[in-house]
Copies of this chain bind each other. A is one copy, B any other.
Amino acid sequence: MRVNEMCGKGLGFSEYTRFDRALHMILSRVNETDSEKISFDKASERVLSEDVDSNFDVPPFDRSAMDGFAVRAEDTFGADETEPKKLRVIGSIEIGTSSDIEVEEGEAVEIATGAPMPKGADATVMVEKTERRNDVLKVFEPVSPGRNLSPRGEDVEAGQTILKAGRKIRPSDIGMLCSTGNLEVKVRRRPKVGLAITGDELREPGEPLEKGEITESNSRTLGPAIERYGGISHRIGIVPDRIERIRAVFDSADQFDSLVLTGGSSVGEKDLVPDVISDLGELLFHGVAIRPGSPSSFGVVDDTPVFSLAGFPAASLIAFEMLVRPALRKMQGLKPRDFRICVEAELIRKINSKLGRRDVVRVKLEREGGRYSAEPVRVTGSSVLRSVTESNGIVVVPDNSEGFSRGSKINVFPLKL
């Protein structure tokens, strides 16, 4: 049996697929979702599938950046507190209005912040630097041309690319989209992920438990994780450990952009999922050199990428983070390996790892006096979800490291799984 050949008795970690290779295989079989057109105001957190150009100059006209007086800058040259320049106020321009008024030599127009500059004027003198009596204006400070005004197109010029394909849309982008006349945008469809949890011992939340039974929690943990990373989670439900029931999950494979199953992925008698994947499609790997989460597999059935993750809650969530998240990112047109913030922290207790294995260690990250410290959360088993809820960061020990000694400076990814 192939599965036992790879993972069975007496075989060391070298028989597991290395993490980098596993991820490479996954990404080579995952495609971007198609794109859809949506309204700009529904686009928050979505990912653009094409560049967006501005349809307008923003601002669409030269406008005053201050409350004050629009002037010809040269008329103010030489002004100071003791010898102010005197100008004649010939009118005013309110915000939201326009005017045919033209400023000629020795003239000024009262202007509000945001109002369009009148013809002839090339600067605004702030109201605080003036004194007005009827139509006579004293200017106490010179301004240079262009001072205190926002020229047409200062923020964005018409035709300019404002946001690029692959951009995850932020709050300020939404404002930018509507300012530039992009009321519809093309974004990647959110990947739909089917979630099936295998295990004869599993009961729905609220159902009474007989001895030997436990409440199913993996779908409750992975569902919000899928949504957090931009997917749409669809809970297929609990699936008993029987070949025909597991095969039935794949009847709907083509309705999903990806399938995630947990449980039935290790080397026991009831570890059926990888065999079913292999039978119905293609199994690319079974067993990855990461901890926790090593009994993870990946394959393709009916063109749908399928992840089989460990059944234990903490292991399934870490395997999801390491293997499924990059796939979800690629489906949405994001870089699979993102620019992720990490901080340098002092390690409070040593971390042991094995060469060739990638350990994902959950840590408590704290900040005191401008420095970070990281304390590995004590883990007694990969079943222990508390190791995740008590952590606020992860440390990834590379394959070529045997761990880190106490006191070393390590990189921590702040992450609240």
Q: List residues of A whose CB falls within 8 A of some B CB.
A: 8-10, 40-41, 44, 58-61, 65, 67, 93-98, 112-116, 127-129, 150, 154-156, 162-163, 168, 170-179, 181, 183, 199-202, 205-206, 209-218, 220-225, 227-228, 241, 266-270, 311, 313-314, 317, 339, 341-344, 367, 370, 380-381, 383-386, 388-389, 411, 414, 416-417
Chain B residues within an 8 Å CB radius of A381: 65, 150, 154
Give the complex CA separation of A411 and B372 in angstroms. 13
**Interface CB pairs A-B, < 8 A, 23:** A10-B128, A40-B205, A58-B385, A59-B214, A65-B381, A65-B383, A94-B200, A95-B201, A96-B202, A96-B241, A114-B199, A115-B201, A127-B268, A150-B380, A155-B385, A156-B386, A171-B228, A171-B417, A172-B313, A172-B317, A173-B389, A174-B221, A343-B343
Q: Is the interface of A mostly helix, strand, loop or mixed?
A: loop
Give the complex CA separation of A95 and B10 in angstroms. 25
Chain B residues within an 8 Å CB radius of A214: 58-60, 114, 179
Chain B residues within an 8 Å CB radius of A96: 199-202, 212-213, 241
Given contacts A95-B270, A156-B386, contact A313 B175 (CB under 8 A): yes
Nearest chain B residue, comparing its CB with the CB of A111: B268
Nearest chain B residue, comparing its CB with the CB of A229: B171
Contact at B205–A386, with CB atoms within 8 Å?
A: no
Contact at B224–A205, with CB atoms within 8 Å?
A: no
